[in-house]
Amino acid sequence: MEKKDLNEIEKEMKLANEGLPEKERILFSDARPSRVEPLNKYLEQFVNWARARSLWLLAFGTGCGATELRPLMTSRFDVSRFGIAGRPTPRQASVFIIGGYASIKTIKRIVRSYEQMQGPKYVIALGSCTINGGMYYDSYNTINRIDYYIPVDTYIAGCMPRPEALIAGFNRLKEKIQKGECDGMNKYADNFDWYKKNQKQIIKDWNMPDYNW
């Protein structure tokens, strides 16, 4: 009796993947993301120290704010001296910069890329559009607050923020990582249903698995 109950609970915990055609569902994982606890205190402190000094950006410009990322890489601002480097694939990246407004088409890709990143993962929301919609606050095809859809660690306000502001934002993120305050990965896993509900309200043509492993 007890076993059956457990099975039922487990079945409920599985993701339905309703957006996929029935024959394709078997090809995708239906597991939910789960919480991963940090290591013991001193080990985690050491690891966070290294994580803060080796930030790998996902090279995916999601809006006009991505323009500000180019000068960061070149000789004038050169973020590589802070240990920040671009990575072309979400599998290896640890920082996701939401560069300004996110249109509904883009938010789908943002969710996919964010979920494919391997935790611990950090999100920097760049520009006013990610905080309250900015100049696109009443647009029919952009979202106003990015933190309804993915957890955000640091905001950089402005339209556009200068590269200096971005570097200040990176430093803020580094401080937070070192203190162990950036736990967006577990926040996403804990509040998974809430985030999914918000995402599905916006993304009408949901034709991907519920969690992109």
Positions that interact with other proteins (CB under 8 A): 36, 38-39, 47, 50-51, 53-54, 56, 59, 74-75, 78, 80-81, 83, 85-89, 91-92, 94, 118-120, 185, 213
Half-sphere exposure of 164 (CA within 13 A, CB side): 0
Shortest Cβ distance from residue 128 to other proteins (Å)?
30
Minimum CB–partner distance for residue 10 and other proteins (Å):
20
CB-CB neighbours of 10 under 10 Å: 9
To other proteins, the closest distance from the beta carbon of 163 in angstroms equals 14
As measured in angstroms, the least distance from the Cβ of 37 to other proteins is 9
60 vs 101 by CB, closer to other proteins: 60
- Based on CB atoms, which residue is closest to other proteins, 19 or 119? 119
Q: Are 47 and 55 in contact (CB under 8 A)?
A: no
Which residue's CB is nearer to other proteins, number 85 or number 168?
A: 85
Dist CA 212 CA 111 (whole Å): 8
| Locus of tokens 């973020």 | 79
Q: Which is nearer to other proteins, 94 or 130 (CB)?
A: 94
Question: Quick one: which H or E segment has residue 156?
Answer: strand 154-156
Taking the complex as a whole, how short is the minimal distance between the CB of residue 54 and other proteins, in angstroms? 4
**Closer residue to other proteins (CB): 70 or 197:** 70
Preceding omega of 120 cis (within 30 degrees of 0): yes
Q: How far is the CB of 62 from other proteins (least distance, A)?
A: 17
- 61 or 133: CB nearest other proteins: 61
User: In angstroms, rounded to a whole number, what is the distance separating the alpha carbons of residues 99 and 128?
Assistant: 10
Q: Is 77 left (phi over 0), alpha (psi -120 to 50) or beta?
A: alpha
* SS3 at position 178: helix
Cα distances (angstroms) measured from residue 101 to each of 59, 66, 76, 109, 130? 16, 10, 26, 13, 6
